A and B are shown apart, each in its own frame.
Chain A
Amino acid sequence: MQFDPKIADLKKQIENYSREELLWFNGYLSGLLAQNQIKTSSELEVLLKKNNLKPSLKPVILYASETGNSKKLAFELSKLLKQNEIQTKVFDLATYKIKDLEKESYVVFICSTQGEGEAPLSAQGFFTDLEKETLDIKDLKYSIVGLGDTSYPLFCKAAQDLDDLMKKQSAKSQTALLKLDVDYKQQANEWFLELVALFLEQSQDEKQIDDKSLVSLKENDKQSKPDHVKTFYKGKLLHKVILNDRGSNKKTYHIELATFEDIEYHPGDALGVYAKNNHSLLQSLADSLGDKKRYLELESLNVKGLSGRVLTNILEYLQIKTNQTRIDLIDLLQLYTPLVRSIDFDKIISLLNPISPRLYSIASSLHNQENQIDLTVGLVEFENQGIPKKGMCSCYLSELEIGQEFMFYIHKNQDFYLPDDSKDIIMIGPGTGIAPFRGFLQERDQRGVKARNWLFFGEQHFVSDFYYQTEIQQWLETQVLTRLDTAFSRDQKHKIYVQDRLKENAKELWKWIQSGAVIYLCGQKSGMSEDVESTLVQIIMDNQGVNQLEAKEYLEQMFLNGQYKKDVY
């Protein structure tokens, strides 16, 4: 790289800058880069027009999305293609008919990976069909973009599976499988540009792509391999308190952790935490496996809630059967020990996956407190076959002792950052969904941002479950928080939820939206986020005078252009 003199130059320029100024520049530069990418695409467009090319290729983009990231990328690609006069259509794999593959000439898959290496729930039907059916797609060309997280053992596994299935059906892979990590944005954009170039070339002389372009895409793929290591940090528990008062049904922890170095993060980012198994559990587990002394070897392996591939493999190895689709290893062993002759400790270890990290929205702002990160963690408690269980990571965090150290990393979540300071925001965050918004409000408070902030919060009871109540009161007092709406579902006979408050305030909400306010939604995906979303659709129907389909599209557009942001789990 020829950067060295430039870096020296830059260093000289910025040596007197404060941390805040540097942070500002950091944002400024990312903005600049984002603009440049658009410029690049319009350069391509210009190139296209100059040569008076008429692209004949009509690629189809198929996405499989769990959190909306794949979907968002799919529409970004579609936009880019259209700018370059390449006709394209976007479909959700959930609703795409597999037989239609036979009619396509080029398909771009954008597919994320969930849980233990599975495809998004909505796309699992497509995967099953692709495995079972025999399709006539030997002329079909395709590319696959996988979205994943290198923190998970089976990085981009679903995309890999998809690639294998397509190859089995004799479809023609045109580019190497692109695996993208959580900070995928820039890489995705670069790859998209190359893909456009590839399409243009293919259109130009109607022949198979030449080796050169393929190589270029392959090189790109090399960079995207999960070889870059996440930065892990050590922190120690500074303080923890259950935010719920006596009599509550919930146990939501406010956790403060001290970091040993300056760690940069933005409100909206999440903390990736690797839980460790409880030692007393491991001792009895190791005992069941025949060697109590080796329990520490199991510390970082996932022995709880085994499912899918891992469960199948273990059942196969132990030659036992169960109707359960999710079971802790210890329960499995205890239930089935009589049938087992001897267990090889090492074999079991080889069949287990490492514990996947869990993500928790950061509930603080660096502007508020350096070297400290706060989390809002709901302790997950449930029953499995009558046995009371706790969520692995929430339990791990809640049981940490003050001063105890643990490892974490920062999970960048650019799609959920604050907008620029001129923009109003509407935050919908019931339950632990309030976490990032505490960070937002701290940040905007500290920086004296003048734009308006509206918070919707909900839980079960006002008296016991009003997370961060005194801080919220302070923000109302100082007018950092412009409006607050609360919904305590069990304080009256009929249940009231945040979406009911949205409905009640529909007129005012619409005004905010019209004036450009950005809507943030954080919290539970099933139930809450769906209800909030259908309420937003209703509000759009009522105020925009459109039908449901159009209103959904409107919200979709808001999502795609960043006026509606989601972080749901």
Chain B
Amino acid sequence: MSKDKLSHVETIKTQSDGLRGTLSQSLVDNHTGNVRPDDEALIKFHGMYVQDDRDRRQERAEKKLDKLYSFMIRLRIPGGVISAKQWQAIHEVSELYGTGVLKITTRQTIQLHGLLKHQLSDTIQGFLTAKLDAIAACGDVNRNVICSSHPQVSPVFEQIHNYADKISEMLLPKTQSYYEIWIDNQKIYDRSVESDPLYQDRYLPRKFKIAIAIPPTNDVDVFANDIGLIAIVENDQLIGFNLAIGGGLSTTHGNKDTYSRLATVIGFCSSESDILKLIYHVLTIQRDYGNRSDRKLARLKYTLDKMGVENFVKELEKRAAVELKAAKSYTFTERNDRYGWQQAHDNKWYYTLFVENGVVRYAPEQVHLVISNYSSTLSRISFL
């Protein structure tokens, strides 16, 4: 681990008392639409971040009004699948508290923009009644796990898809602060159930992304993730996953030390429990060896290159007590979406809709009503 001075966010995390910080006080600060500076970092772990409308700054300053702060909230939807009822609930919440606009993201989830601070608790409570949450949707933790969503891709699609849920669940922070702050207000949780062997009090040095691809389709861009799982299907049976680590495309403009990197395939693993252990310990290694002084160089790809792939794999096998097998062969031949009516392997039909920029506005004659009219018959909605 770097001996350099820890970045300020690291101090905020370790002193946050399970991601609580002063969020409860921030919410009742009635003079501002923002949260307190340190809470700006913490609120991300609860699936939100704050922004202000830069174009309005000057005009509002002349009116002696503070910046126009609003919040984005991003849901945690592993694999991007929700029920029709949940879709309806998200719409309703966005109309009640947000701008009425939903944004479907490239990581298979939904964001609402333009929420005011005093609307956050109501929004989160509205989501909770539809069994939806925003925990760890942003912040230095494992983010929304994405997975190929096209039923047509494989007959074992659903089995593979379940992994997204399992992984997401396993990698959730243990702190109950989300419920304490946004739902129950003052209820104090038993801190012993909050002990978090994975994230401890430091969480990860940086965000962490996991994707699951089902060849021959690579619609999730599996090599651009910190962890990529490539499903190996033989004779319509899932036999395991190739594990790829250290992907990431982002670079910081003008910072020569940053670079894009495709994930390296490090082997194959067949049993579910072993796969989960391996994933878990990729995170513990990143937690322990990741760069905590320079956030620009903190993603897993830098940790991996710093340690060397071989050393990393050795450490991983040791920690997980799992031996990786040689990677199985696979072929990706496409990464496009299949629009329009499609038939799945069980002969049922489904429809793929193109949503430009993922933006869905409230328009009664459109999606919203169509879905509420058919919500009893529509089985599921997934985001590609």
Q: Is A241 an interface residue (CB 8 A)?
A: yes
CB-defined interface of A37-74 with B at 8 Å, one 1/0 digit per residue? 00000000000000000000000000000000000000
Known contacts being A254-B64, A469-B65, is A492 close to B118, with CB within 8 Å? yes
Given contacts A463-B116, A492-B118, contact A484 B31 (CB under 8 A): yes
- Chain A residues within 8 Å of B33, by CB: 462-463
**Nearest-Cβ distance from residue A221 to partner chain B, whole angstroms:** 48
Give the residues from 63 to 105 in chain B that come closer than 8 angstroms, CB to CB, to chain A: 63-66, 68
Contact yes or no, A463 B68, CB < 8 A: yes
Give chain B's interface secondary structure class.
loop
Interface 9-mer from A20-28, A189-197, A471-479: A471-479
Contact of A245 among B31, B60, B118 (CB under 8 A): B60
Q: Does A280 contact B (CB under 8 A)?
A: no
Provide the residues of chain B in CB contact with A470, threshold 8 Å: 61, 64-66
Q: Residue on A with the closest CB to B32? A: A473
Whether B31 and A472, one on each chain, are in contact in the complex, defined by CB atoms closer than 8 angstroms, is yes
| Nearest neighbor of A486 in chain B, beta-carbon distance | B30
B334 within 8 A of partner (CB): no
| Residue B4, interface by CB 8 Å | no
A470, closest chain B residue (CB):
B64
Distance in angstroms from B316 CB to nearest chain A CB is 50
What are the residues of chain B within 8 A of A467 when measuring CB–CB? 64
List, in ascending order, chain A residues with CB within 8 A of B63's CB: 241-245, 254
- Distance from B358 Cβ to chain A, minimum over Cβ atoms (Å): 26
Q: Is the CB of B66 within 8 A of A245?
A: no
Q: Please measure, in the bound complex, the distance between the C-alpha atom of A254 and the C-alpha atom of B64, giving whole angstroms.
A: 10
From A241, A243, A473, A484, give the contact of B66 (CB < 8 A). Answer: A473
Instruction: Flag whether B190 is at the interface (Cβ < 8 A).
Output: no
B59 (CB) vs chain A CBs: closest residue? A245
| Smallest CB gap from A473: residue in B | B31
Give Cα A401 to B336, complex, Å.
Answer: 61
B346 at the interface (CB under 8 A from A): no
The minimal Cβ–Cβ distance linking A256 to chain B, given in whole angstroms, is 12
Expressed in whole angstroms, the minimum distance between the Cβ of A203 and any Cβ of chain B is 59
CA distance A32 to B155 in the complex (A): 96
Determine whether A468 belongs to the interface, using a CB cutoff of 8 Å to chain B. yes
For residue B62, CB closer than 8 A to chain A, the reply is: yes
A462-B118, A463-B116, A491-B118 in contact; A469/B30 too (CB < 8 A)? no
Residue numbers in A under 8 Å from B65 (CB-CB): 243, 245, 464, 466, 469-470
Minimum distance in angstroms from B21 CB to a CB of chain A: 20
Chain A residue nearest to B122 in the complex (CB): A492
Q: In the complex, how many angstroms separate the beta carbon of B61 from the nearest chain A beta carbon?
A: 7
Contact with B along A236-280 (1 / 0, CB 8 A): 000001111100000000100000000000000000000000000
Given the complex, which residues of B lie within 8 Å of A476, measured CB to CB? 31
Given A462-B118, A491-B118, A241 and B62 touching (CB < 8 A)?
yes
Residue of B33, B59, B61, B63 most packed against chain A (CB within 10 A): B63
Expressed in whole angstroms, the minimum distance between the Cβ of A508 and any Cβ of chain B is 15
Residues in chain A near residue B60, CB distance under 8 A: 245
A200 smallest CB distance to B (angstroms): 57
User: A residues within 8 A CB of B61?
Assistant: 470
Nearest-neighbour CB distance to chain A for B14, whole angstroms, equals 27
Q: A485 contacts the other chain (Cβ, under 8 Å)?
A: yes
CA distance A462 to B118 in the complex (A): 9
Q: Are B68 and A471 in contact (CB under 8 A)?
A: no
Q: With A462-B118, A463-B116, A491-B118 as known contacts, state yes or no: A468 contacts B64, CB within 8 Å.
A: yes
Please provide the chain B residues from 107 to 126 with a CB less than 8 Å away from any CB of chain A in the complex: 116, 118
What's the minimum C-beta distance from A156 to chain B, rounded to whole angstroms? 40
* Shortest distance between the CB of B35 and any CB in chain A (Å): 14
- Among A254, A462, A485, A492, the most chain B Cβ lie within 10 Å of the Cβ of A462
Residues 444-468 of chain A, each 1 if its beta carbon lies under 8 Å from chain B, else 0: 0000000000000000001110111
Contact A469-B66, Cβ < 8 Å, known A476-B31, A484-B30:
yes
Residues in chain B near residue A492, CB distance under 8 A: 118
Chain B 22-76 interface residues, beta-carbon cutoff 8 Å to A? 30-33, 56, 59-66, 68
CA distance A244 to B60 in the complex (A): 9
Complexed CA–CA distance, A485 and B29 (Å): 10
Q: In chain A, what residue has the closest Cβ to B69? A: A463
CA gap between A468 and B61 in the complex, in Å: 10
Distance between Cα atoms of A464 and B68 in the complex (Å): 9
Complex Cα spacing A389 to B116, Å? 34
| Contacts A/B (CB < 8 Å), 10 sampled | A241-B62, A241-B64, A245-B56, A245-B59, A245-B63, A254-B64, A463-B116, A469-B65, A473-B32, A492-B118
Beyond known contacts A463-B116, A491-B116: 16 more, CB 8 A cutoff: A241-B62, A241-B63, A244-B63, A245-B59, A245-B60, A462-B33, A462-B118, A464-B65, A466-B66, A469-B64, A470-B64, A470-B65, A470-B66, A472-B31, A473-B31, A476-B31
A residues with CB within 8 A of B: 241-245, 254, 462-464, 466-473, 476, 484-486, 491-492
Shortest beta-carbon contacts, A-B, top 9: A486-B30, A470-B64, A469-B66, A473-B31, A468-B64, A469-B65, A243-B63, A241-B62, A476-B31
